[in-house]
């Protein structure tokens, strides 16, 4: 996901996106733990997406 697209979202939408992304990360970590994860690089991408969302939320709230 692109930072430019995230900046166009409202604070409420960003918070929802953050929760959804964290939920996806949790599910992927669980799959990785039981060795069913097909694309382990997806874990790193989700962590980066969460960081982008958190950064933009901080920018908007300050």
pLDDT at 36 (0 to 100): 85
Alpha helices in the chain (DSSP H): 3-7, 11-33, 41-61
pLDDT at 1 (0 to 100): 81
CA angle 49, 53, 59 (to 5 degrees): 145
Number of domains in the chain: 1
**26: domain range?**
3-61
pLDDT at 23 (0 to 100): 98
The string of pLDDT tens digits covering residues 4-59 is 999 999 999 999 999 999 999 999 999 999 988 888 899 999 999 999 999 999 99
């Amino acid at each position: 996901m692109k930072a430019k697209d995230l900046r166009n979202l409202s604070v409420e939408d960003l918070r929802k996106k953050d929760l959804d992304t964290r939920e996806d990360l949790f599910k992927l970590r669980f799959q990785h733990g039981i060795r069913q994860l097909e694309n382990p690089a997806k874990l790193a991408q989700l962590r980066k997406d969460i960081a982008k969302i958190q950064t933009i939320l901080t920018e908007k709230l300050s």
